[in-house]
């Protein structure tokens, strides 16, 4: 029954669902082992308290908050990029959107856990329900991330319904599961209209939600009168950084799964070329914001602000700061500006450096401001412990595992959208004609 898919045009997209290679099991086992280790270290932390971490006085926020901001930033890969591409009817979006949306849903779940891990006493998160204070930016975070997670999960799920119905119709052991998720989809014009209408509303909704989420995350820093944090441009700065790291993460995922699942026919050089250009633009934007942020601080030369800035420029965080500039600006700009380097291996390298650079940026924002207190306390330093490293690596493993398992049950590329794209080639041609002066449009 399940072999039916072999006669399909998009056989490659069904293959990972119906055929499970050894590689899948090896990957799952290795990732599960990493996760079990991370869970063990977390239990150690709950048992012994936050003393097992590198956090101290005055540096009371470390890897967990860094990872929280970083993972939520990566989540902008999906919903935001996908919604913008759908809204602008960019035809090249079709093989990309779902891959991007999956990143959002998984990464948001991981990122959302980080502040709970940071609590030391995770059970105290329940106090949010009984004694939360809505005027606290931390509560704004809880609300906006919950809204974003709900919206992006719905936005991932709805465009999947036609593909789930395809899997249902192919039969097999999981028919009941696909039947449950397909919501009676039969592909009639009326059903299509209903679904498209809902997706259109969601598209418009998720863009402001996504932007507001990272703006609100920046508020947990910028709403405090802390040198290096109290900045009016932190909202857009965080949003730009989030989109920047999101695009980079998306390209890494695309390149890896393209290779593993042989998706070369769907994810072509042109897709990486377009996304690479977008990454280059974001790199310049990121540099502009970083430059503005530090220039105003240096020009004002307020002593406490300067102490934090010098901690980053020439102090203990200098290698990390200049490493960030190298990873987020110098390397991607060199690679993505020249056609010679702007090939898939080059783009992969640039994307990896951007992801590392953006993680460094989050670290550089969080730690130095806390390490330089204005009270008569000696300057602090933060060295993450094995527990923190393990939980960080566990978070990355959870992401890869989540993505791999998703790919086992659902197509990574939207099959119905690809089919629709094939059918709509003439409509696209007409649309292009409609943009042009003095060209007749076929009705």
Partner 1 sequence: MKTYKKSYFARPVFLAQLVSMFLIWLLVTGIALWVSNLVYLSLDLNDAFGASIGISIVAVPIFFTLASILTYVFIGLHKEEKKIYNSNGDDK
How far is it, in rounded angstroms, from Cα 257 to Cα 75? 18
CB 82, min distance to partner 1, A? 16
The smaller minimum CB distance to partner 1, of residues 131 and 301, is found at 131
Are the C-beta atoms of residues 178 and 168 closer than 8 Å to each other?
yes
The smaller minimum CB distance to partner 1, of residues 56 and 179, is found at 179
Give me Rg for the CA atoms of the chain: 23
The smaller minimum CB distance to partner 1, of residues 131 and 225, is found at 131
How far is it, in rounded angstroms, from Cα 204 to Cα 318? 41
Neighbours of 200 (CB within 10 A): 12
CB 128, min distance to partner 1, A? 9
CB 239, min distance to partner 1, A? 17
The smaller minimum CB distance to partner 1, of residues 53 and 82, is found at 82
Kindly compute the dihedral angle of the four CA atoms of residues 113, 119, 122, 124, in this order, to the nearest 10 degrees. -120
Greatest extent of the chain over all pairs of C-alpha atoms, in Å: 76
How far is it, in rounded angstroms, from Cα 292 to Cα 391? 34
Tokens for 376?
A: 């008569």
Provide the H-helix boundaries in 158-188: 161-169, 175-182
Cis amide bond preceding 58, omega within 30: yes
In the complex, which residues of this chain contact partner 1 (CB under 8 A)?
129-135, 139-140, 143-144, 146-147, 150-151, 154, 158, 161, 175-176, 179-180, 183-186, 188, 190-191, 194-195, 197-198, 201-202, 205, 209
The smaller minimum CB distance to partner 1, of residues 191 and 379, is found at 191
Provide the residue count of the chain.
443
The secondary structure of 14-32, three-state, reads HHHHHCCCHHHHHHHHHHH
Tokens for 57?
A: 């006085």
The smaller minimum CB distance to partner 1, of residues 23 and 171, is found at 171
CB 147, min distance to partner 1, A? 5
CB 213, min distance to partner 1, A? 11
The smaller minimum CB distance to partner 1, of residues 150 and 277, is found at 150
CB 427, min distance to partner 1, A? 24
C-alpha distances (whole Å) from 219 to each of 280, 349, 359, 364 are 27, 32, 18, 16
CB 107, min distance to partner 1, A? 19
């Amino acid at each position: 029954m399940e072999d039916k898919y072999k006669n399909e045009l998009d056989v490659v997209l069904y293959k990972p669902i119906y055929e499970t290679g050894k590689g899948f099991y090896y990957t799952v086992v290795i990732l599960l082992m990493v996760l079990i280790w991370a869970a063990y270290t977390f239990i150690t932390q709950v048992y012994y308290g936050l003393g097992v971490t590198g956090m101290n006085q005055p540096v009371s926020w470390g890897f967990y908050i860094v990872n929280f901001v970083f993972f939520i930033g990566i989540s902008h890969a999906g919903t935001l990029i996908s919604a913008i591409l759908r809204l602008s009817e960019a035809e090249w979006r079709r093989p990309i959107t779902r891959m991007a949306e999956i990143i959002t849903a998984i990464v948001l779940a991981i990122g959302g856990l980080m502040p709970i891990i940071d609590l030391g006493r995770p059970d105290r998160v329940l106090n949010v329900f009984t004694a939360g204070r809505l005027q606290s930016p931390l509560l704004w975070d809880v609300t906006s991330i919950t809204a974003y997670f709900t919206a992006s999960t719905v936005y991932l799920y709805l465009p999947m319904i036609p593909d789930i119905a395809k899997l249902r119709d192919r039969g097999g052991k999981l028919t009941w599961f696909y039947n449950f998720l397909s919501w009676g989809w039969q592909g009639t014009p009326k059903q299509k209209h209903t679904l498209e209408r809902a997706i259109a509303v969601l598209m418009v909704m998720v863009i402001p939600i996504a932007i507001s989420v990272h703006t609100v995350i920046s508020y947990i820093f910028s709403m405090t009168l802390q040198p290096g944090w109290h900045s009016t441009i932190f909202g857009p700065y965080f949003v730009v950084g989030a989109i920047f790291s999101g695009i980079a993460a998306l390209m890494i995922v695309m390149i890896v799964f393209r290779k593993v699942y042989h998706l070369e026919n769907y994810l072509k050089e042109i897709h990486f070329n377009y996304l690479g250009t977008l990454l280059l633009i974001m790199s310049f934007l990121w540099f502009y914001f970083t430059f503005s942020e530090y220039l105003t601080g240096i020009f004002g030369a307020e002593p406490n602000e300067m102490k934090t800035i010098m901690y980053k420029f020439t102090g203990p965080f200098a290698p990390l700061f200049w490493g960030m500039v190298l990873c987020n600006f110098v390397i991607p700009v060199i690679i993505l500006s020249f056609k010679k380097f702007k090939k898939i291996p080059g783009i992969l390298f640039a994307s990896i450096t951007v992801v590392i650079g953006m993680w460094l940026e989050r670290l550089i924002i969080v730690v130095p401001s806390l390490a330089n207190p204005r009270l008569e306390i000696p300057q602090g330093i933060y060295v993450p412990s094995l527990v923190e490293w393990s939980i960080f690596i566990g978070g990355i493993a959870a992401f890869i595992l989540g993505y791999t398992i998703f790919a086992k049950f659902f197509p990574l590329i939207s099959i119905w959208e690809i089919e629709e794209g094939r059918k709509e080639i003439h409509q696209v041609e007409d649309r292009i004609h409609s943009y042009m002066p003095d060209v007749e449009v076929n009705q």
